[in-house]
Structure 1
Amino acid sequence: MAAGLLFLVCAAAVLYSAEAQESYNGLPDIYKKGVDLATNQLSTHARVQHHFRFLRTVEKSEGGFGVKYLYHHFYLKPTTCPRGMTESDPQRCPFRNDKPLMDCAVCYKSAGDQIEAEPKPYVHCIQKPRLTEEMKKNRVDHFRKMSYHSGAPTLLALISKS
């Protein structure tokens, strides 16, 4: 009986891990690049000891005229692999359940499937329990300012000579 229960728990863990990778694989390429931007930034932070993998999207928004301004709010989950690990096999770095999720928001301008250097992409990641309402508001405000400042006033300033 215990062996059967252990098998079910292990099978559920493998399926849960595979589902998270599938959700990353299901993202459009431009959103994957935003997730990669956040994971790369985390891997260079001195206090981060483990590799993180995408868990799931919380919210996505797009804005802009002609180009896209993207806002992606998502969770990253720590794995058992050390930071800086490049994972060729997603199952090679199983999730840890003893550490909190990393709550991340990125906003950036894209043209085609590339992230533009200007304005500088915004990346904010913090352990989920430490995220405050003010931080959430600042993230969304940053996106609104980024998408408004590029072109919206000039569209309103056009004068017709009819």
Structure 2
Amino acid sequence: MEFVLLIALFVPALLAAPEGEKAYNKLSKPYRDGVDLAVQQVNSHSKIQQYFFFFKSMAKTESESGFGVNYIYHNFYLKPTTCTKSTQNASPKNCPFRNDRPMIDCAVCYRTVLGVIDNDPNPYIHCIHKPSLSKEMIQKRAEHYRQMTYSHGAPTLLASKGQK
């Protein structure tokens, strides 16, 4: 009986770990780069005891404004793992997901130039434990993306100055 209980507890944890990794690998490079920023920020927080890794995307938006410039908004979940911060070589492969802790809901918003995250404007990263996420926070995230895309305008060929 105890053996069956152990199998029931550990098999789902082992099967869940590759799920997040597969979803991460399906993301295009600009989206993976944004996830990496959020994962680094969350895992560096002093109050976080276990590593969090990408679990799944909830929403993705991309606005192309020409000349290789894109504005990206990505909402996704990070899920806690069994690996503590003292774990050597922590990665999604070595650290099974936990189902007994809340996920972290993240939204990142940033500008890319030729597929690389630009620091002007600074990338916006907002991550919070899912139960604490409010409607106001969701609206603030969306508003930040709208302001970022509108404040820079869209460069056009008509706005460029040729040489004389």
TM-score range, shorter chain: 0.7 to 0.9
Gaps of 5+ in 2: none
Instruction: In structure 1, list runs of 5 or more residues that go unmatched.
Output: none
Query: 1-side partners of 2:70 and 2:86: how far apart?
Result: 30
Partner of 1:106: 108
TM-score, L = length of structure 2: 0.84
What corresponds to 1:44 in structure 2?
44
Q: Which aligned pairs between 1:1-162 and structure 2 lie closer than 5 A? A: 3=3, 7=7, 10-66=10-66, 67-83=69-85, 87=89, 89-152=91-154
Shift of 1:111: 1.2
Of stretches 57-66 and 77-86 in structure 1, the one that deviates more from structure 2 is: 77-86
* 1:49 partner amino acid: Q
TM-score w.r.t. length of structure 1: 0.84
Q: Is the 8 A contact 2:17 2:95 kept in 1?
A: no
> Which whole-Å CA distance do the structure 1 matches of 2:98 and 2:89 have between them?
16
Distance in 2, Cα, partners of 1:44 & 1:20: 20
Computed over aligned residues only, the root mean square deviation of the Cα atoms, in angstroms, reads 2.6
Given that 1:80 and 1:95 are in contact with CA atoms closer than 8 Å, whether structure 2 keeps it comes out as yes
Cα drift, residue 81 of structure 1: 1.5
Contact 1:107 1:143 in 2 (8 A): yes
Residues 5/79 of structure 1: CA separation in 2 closer, same or farther (3 Å cut): closer
Cα distance in structure 2, aligned partners of 1:2 and 1:145: 56
Tell me which moved more, 119-128 or 81-90: 81-90
